[in-house]
Structure 1
Amino acid sequence: MTRLVIVSNRVSKPRETRAGGLASALNSALNEHGGLWFGWSGNVVSDVPAGVSRERIGEIDYALTDLSESEYSTYYQGFSNRTLWPLLHYRPDLLDFRRENLSGYRAVNRRFAELLAPQLRSDDTIWVHDYHLIPLGQELRALGIKARIGFFLHVPFPSPEVLMMLPGHRPLLKTLCAYDLVGTQTDSDQRALCEYSGREWGATCDDSGMVSLSDGHRFRCMAFPISIDPGLISRNADLARTSKAHRSLVDSLSGRELAISVDRLDYSKGLPERFEAFAHFLDSYPQHRGQLSMMQIAPVTRGDVPEYQELRARLEQLAGAINGRYAEPDWMPIRYINRSFHQANLAGFYRSARVGLVTPLRDGMNLVAKEYVAAQSAEDPGVLVLSRFAGAARELTDALLVNPYDADDTSNAIHAALEMPIEERRRRWQAMSAHLRQHTIVDWRESFLDVLLDS
Structure 2
Amino acid sequence: MGRLVVVSNRIALPDHSKNGAGGLAVGLLDALQEQGGLWFGWNGEISKITGEEEPLQIEQDKNITYAACSLTQNDYDLYYSQFSNTVIWPAFHYRLDLVEYQREAWEGYLHVNQLLAAKLFPLLKQDDVVWVHDYHLLPFAAALREHDSQQPIGFFLHIPFPAPEVLMALPDYQEILRLMTAYSLLGFQTERDAKAFVSAIAHETELVTVEQGVYQAYGNTFHVHDYPIGIDPDSIRKLAEGPLPPKMQAIRQGLGDAKNIIACERLDYSKGIPERFLAYESFLEKHPEQRGNVRYTQIAPTSRGEVQAYQAIRHQLETEAGRINGKYGTMSWTPLYYLNQHFDRRLLMKIFRLTDIALITPLRDGMNLVAKEYLAAQDPVNPGVLILSKFAGAACELTDALLVNPYDRDEVANAIYKATTMTQEERVRRHAVMMNVLSYQTITRWRETFLDDLYEISK
Give the TM-score, by structure 1 length. 0.97
Superposed CA offset, 1:85-125 (max 9, x none): 00000011111100000010000000000110111111111
Which residue number corresponds to residue 103 of structure 2? 99
8 Å contact from structure 2 (residues 19, 346) kept in 1: no
Q: Which moved more, 1:377-386 or 1:320-329?
A: 320-329
Superposed CA offset, 1:69-96 (max 9, x none): 1011100000000000000000111111
Equivalent residue in structure 2 for 1:195, among 199, 203, 213? 199
Q: What is the rounded CA distance, in whole Å, between the counterparts of 1:206 and 1:155 in structure 2? A: 27
Which residue number corresponds to residue 416 of structure 1? 418
Cα offset, 1:31, TM superposition? 1.0
Alpha carbons of structure 1 residues 422 and 75: separation in structure 2 relative to 1, 3 Å: same
Cα offset, 1:248, TM superposition? 4.1
Cα offset, 1:330, TM superposition? 2.1
Q: What is the rounded CA distance, in whole Å, between the counterparts of 2:116 and 2:169 in structure 1? A: 27
Superposed CA offset, 1:270-303 (max 9, x none): 0000011111111011111111111111010000
How is 1:77-88 mapped onto 2 (pairs within 5 angstroms)?
77-88=81-92
Which residue number corresponds to residue 19 of structure 1? 21
8 Å contact from structure 1 (residues 198, 205) kept in 2: no
Instruction: Determine whether 1:157 maps to 2:178.
Output: no
Instruction: Determine whether 1:451 maps to 2:453.
Output: yes
The secondary structure found in structure 1 opposite 2:181 is: helix
Equivalent residue in structure 2 for 1:303, among 299, 302, 305? 305
Which residue number corresponds to residue 223 of structure 1? 226
Alpha carbons of structure 1 residues 4 and 402: separation in structure 2 relative to 1, 3 Å: same
Cα offset, 1:16, TM superposition? 7.8
Alpha carbons of structure 1 residues 32 and 334: separation in structure 2 relative to 1, 3 Å: same
8 Å contact from structure 2 (residues 387, 415) kept in 1: yes
Q: What is the rounded CA distance, in whole Å, between the counterparts of 2:268 and 2:433 in structure 1? A: 30
Which residue number corresponds to residue 289 of structure 2? 287
8 Å contact from structure 1 (residues 190, 223) kept in 2: yes
Q: What is the rounded CA distance, in whole Å, between the counterparts of 2:428 and 2:358 in structure 1? A: 15
Instruction: Determine whether 1:32 maps to 2:22.
Output: no
Which residue number corresponds to residue 238 of structure 1? 241
How is 1:251-270 mapped onto 2 (pairs within 5 angstroms)?
251-270=253-272
Q: What is the rounded CA distance, in whole Å, between the counterparts of 1:370 and 1:141 in structure 2? A: 37
Q: What is the rounded CA distance, in whole Å, between the counterparts of 1:443 and 1:82 in structure 2? A: 33
Cα offset, 1:212, TM superposition? 1.8
Instruction: Determine whether 1:60 maps to 2:79.
Output: no
Cα offset, 1:200, TM superposition? 1.0
Instruction: Determine whether 1:139 maps to 2:143.
Output: yes
How is 1:369-448 mapped onto 2 (pairs within 5 angstroms)?
369-448=371-450
Indicate the percent of aligned positions where both proteins have the same amino acid. Answer: 46
Which residue number corresponds to residue 76 of structure 2? 72
Which residue number corresponds to residue 112 of structure 1? 116
Equivalent residue in structure 1 for 2:215, among 211, 217, 220? 211
Q: Which moved more, 1:105-114 or 1:15-24?
A: 15-24
The secondary structure found in structure 1 opposite 2:241 is: helix
Alpha carbons of structure 1 residues 231 and 210: separation in structure 2 relative to 1, 3 Å: same
Q: What is the rounded CA distance, in whole Å, between the counterparts of 1:205 and 1:233 in structure 2? A: 41
Q: What is the rounded CA distance, in whole Å, between the counterparts of 1:206 and 1:349 in structure 2? A: 49
Which residue number corresponds to residue 177 of structure 2? 173
Q: What is the rounded CA distance, in whole Å, between the counterparts of 1:282 and 1:375 in structure 2? A: 27
Q: What is the rounded CA distance, in whole Å, between the counterparts of 1:117 and 1:304 in structure 2? A: 33
Q: What is the rounded CA distance, in whole Å, between the counterparts of 1:365 and 1:65 in structure 2? A: 29
1:368 alignment partner AA: V
Q: What is the rounded CA distance, in whole Å, between the counterparts of 1:222 and 1:367 in structure 2? A: 20
Superposed CA offset, 1:186-219 (max 9, x none): 000011111111111211346621112274x311
Cα offset, 1:244, TM superposition? 3.8
8 Å contact from structure 2 (residues 262, 357) kept in 1: yes
Structure 1 moving runs of 4+ over 6 Å:
none
Counting matched residue pairs gives 453
8 Å contact from structure 1 (residues 47, 69) kept in 2: no
Q: What is the rounded CA distance, in whole Å, between the counterparts of 2:320 and 2:109 in structure 1? A: 36
Equivalent residue in structure 1 for 2:316, among 314, 317, 323? 314
8 Å contact from structure 1 (residues 88, 157) kept in 2: yes
The secondary structure found in structure 2 opposite 1:178 is: coil
Cα offset, 1:168, TM superposition? 1.5
8 Å contact from structure 1 (residues 194, 204) kept in 2: no
How is 1:322-333 mapped onto 2 (pairs within 5 angstroms)?
322-333=324-335
Q: What is the rounded CA distance, in whole Å, between the counterparts of 1:383 and 1:272 in structure 2? A: 21
8 Å contact from structure 2 (residues 20, 345) kept in 1: no
The secondary structure found in structure 2 opposite 1:38 is: strand
1:250 alignment partner AA: R
Superposed CA offset, 1:112-167 (max 9, x none): 00110111111111000000000000111110111110000000011110111000
Cα offset, 1:332, TM superposition? 1.2
2:265 alignment partner AA: D
> Over aligned residue pairs, what C-alpha RMSD do you find?
1.4
Instruction: Determine whether 1:367 maps to 2:399.
Output: no
Cα offset, 1:337, TM superposition? 0.9
Q: Which moved more, 1:312-321 or 1:250-259?
A: 250-259
8 Å contact from structure 2 (residues 177, 201) kept in 1: no
Structure 2: 5+ residue stretches without partners = none
Give the TM-score, by structure 2 length. 0.96
